[in-house]
Amino acid sequence: MTVKTITSSAYEWVDERLGLSELAAFARHKTVPVHSQSFWYYWGGITLFLFMVQCFTGVLLLVYYRPGADAYESVRQITVVMNFGWLIRSVHAWSANLMMFSILVHMFSVFFMKAYRKPREFGWLSGMALLGVASVFGFSGYLLPMDELSYFATKVGLEIPTAIPYVGAAIANMLRGGPEVSEFTVQRFFALHVVVLPALFLPLLGFHLWLVQRHGNAAPPSEEAKPATERKSIPFMPNFLRKDLAMWLITLNTLALLASVFPWALGKQFDPLAPAPAGIHPEWYFMSPFEMLKLLGAVLPGEIGEITGILLFSVGILLWVLIPFYDTNKDSGQRGRAAHYFGLLAIFALLATTVIGYWTIR
């Protein structure tokens, strides 16, 4: 028996039980539109790749990480004692940041291609839910090393919910596991980070990917306006898949570069009695809301400012999430243009407040 015969028999055996040929036939028939904005199609795949890197490195970190009072010491050991521990931790931290970046790029590309319109409303909503969970992943993971910066940044972050009337203080205490950020907070955040959030994220991700398979990639309105004969597309298998793999390779290269040239630093161990060091700030993807609240606090000082800030935020996020339900028209009419300007305004506000935030770090 030749190798080819053995491979062929093995494939037939598996195919008979799992129906691989049907999957392959489905993939062959699936097509991806080709146009001047096709570049943005890769960002969903890049996000998926980075999430897989997160899972892989996260499991490796889990082997040595000890939540609670030993948290800082265990991260120190991972970074300076364990062979290649620095690399695994660095890749985990960098890929988390790159994943947040690619999610944002993916979200805005979907927004401007109007890919949330009928029948893709659930795709948009599940994507927004994934963004929300990923943000909490970022927030909870940031505290786990328990160094000076992560401790004080989390402390500031957990003071924000206290502005919510009546229930704010209770929510903040529940998240902290007490009145102060402590080893109990790390325990809670750890449980959230490795159990609760993956349990939410994975089914949501599966649902999101299933919707992408079901409805395919949306073309921008300018492309949809063209007659069917003028629209171009390529087969998903193997043409688009090869390109996707090349993009994954570039992402891996960027990640390797960042992780090896700029290894993720570990600061000093936190001291709850020490004053907060200068330059405490949240991660870059939380800088914009943090700065917006700060700016609003300067205009409307006190409790009224905090409540107004949270209200404005809630309304803004709600408007953003519900866009498939009020920008429904396929034609680029008045409402479509308004949504477009809303997107541009959101990008401008995010960028401007992030820049101001970093500019004014003291």
Partner 1 sequence: MNYPFWDIPYLGSGWVIGIIAIFHVMISQFAVGGGLYLPLAERKAMREGRTDWHDQLVSYSKFFLILTGVFGTVSGVGIWFAIGLTQPEATSTLIHNFVFGWAIEWVFFMVELITAAVYYYTWNRIDAKLHLTVGWVYAGASVATLVIINGILTFMLTPGDTWLGVAGTGQEASKFWNAFFNPTYWPSLLLRACVCCSLAGIWALISASRINGDKQPALKASMVKWSVKWLVPSVVAMPFLMIWYYMMVPTSQQALLTLGIDTINAGTFSAVTRMALIIIITSATIVGVAYYLAYRNPVDFNLSHAIAILLLALMATGAGEYSREMLRKPYVIGNWMYSNGVRVPSANRIDREGYLTHSNWTWSADRNGPGSSYSRGEAIFRGECGSCHTLDGYRPLRQLLSGRDRSSIGNFITMLHEHKADSPYSRFMPPMVGTQQDINDLTDYLNYKVNPPAPGAQKTTLTAQK
- Contact residues for partner 1 (CB under 8 A)? 34, 39, 79-80, 83-87, 90, 232, 234, 238-239, 242-243, 245-246, 249-250, 252-253, 256-257, 260-261, 263
Q: How far apart are CA 129 and CA 259, in angstroms?
A: 28
Q: Which is nearer to partner 1, 251 or 354 (CB)?
A: 251
Q: Which is nearer to partner 1, 18 or 80 (CB)?
A: 80
Q: How far apart are CA 65 and CA 71, in angstroms?
A: 7
Q: Which is nearer to partner 1, 17 or 230 (CB)?
A: 230
Least CB distance to partner 1 at residue 194 (A) = 24
Q: Which is nearer to partner 1, 148 or 306 (CB)?
A: 148
Running DSSP on this structure, what letter comes out for residue 264?
P
Q: Which is nearer to partner 1, 247 or 307 (CB)?
A: 247
Least CB distance to partner 1 at residue 203 (A) = 31
Burial class of residue 263 (count of CB atoms within 10 Å of its CB; 0-12, 13-18, 19+): middle
Q: Which is nearer to partner 1, 78 or 100 (CB)?
A: 78
Q: How far apart are CA 150 and CA 274, in angstroms?
A: 14
Least CB distance to partner 1 at residue 261 (A) = 5
Least CB distance to partner 1 at residue 83 (A) = 4
Least CB distance to partner 1 at residue 222 (A) = 18
Least CB distance to partner 1 at residue 29 (A) = 18
Q: Which is nearer to partner 1, 30 or 294 (CB)?
A: 30
- Whether the link from the prior residue into 238 is cis, omega within 30° of 0, is yes
Contact 195, 67 (CB under 8 A): no
Amino acid at 107: M
Least CB distance to partner 1 at residue 252 (A) = 7
